[in-house]
Structure 1
Amino acid sequence: MSEEAWALLVEERKGSNGEWHVSLVMPAGNDLGRAREAAEDLAFVHRPQLAGLRMRRDVYQVGEDVWIVSHRAKLGGGPTYFKVSVVRHLGTAED
């Protein structure tokens, strides 16, 4: 069985310095179009690790394979961000 060609990668901004950290890698099959659809869907439903119970989200597409999401708790506080990308899986190696 061959490995899946595409994956979805979620990066979240964390900590006081706002560095990006990978929080999720999910196989997305061998069809790029379907992987892009899945990534867009994920941008609307992914719950960031530090998200409050209720939040507003704004989703922006940056190119064909990247979505930036701004979200904030409905009770206030500044926005935080996460990014969803379609990435090509090049293979797996073991040392």
Structure 2
Amino acid sequence: MIILLLLVELVTAFRYEGDEINARLANSEADIIHDAIKVKEFNHEEVIRILTTRSKAQLTETFNRYGDDHGSSITKALLDEPAEEFKADLRTAIRC
């Protein structure tokens, strides 16, 4: 069910498509994602909200900040965990 929620949100959510970014927001959201991965809450509501509502430019900044602050990419951090279907779908959404 969570996979369906992620997919529906990805295709229906409104996204700002400009190039403007908020560095402070990127830093904060990188930490939110890191904390969710750390406690293995891959279906965390805030993570889904971030991935489905932020612009490509904002997400790129967030993912870069994640790597800078936590020493590895988000997709690599998700590889280190035990395999599960939602996590694989989450990695695919992040890579896209």
Normalised TM-score (structure 2): 0.31
Indicate the structure with greater strand content: 1
Indicate the structure with greater helix content: 2
Normalised TM-score (structure 1): 0.31
Determine which structure has more spread, i.e. the larger CA radius of gyration. Answer: 1
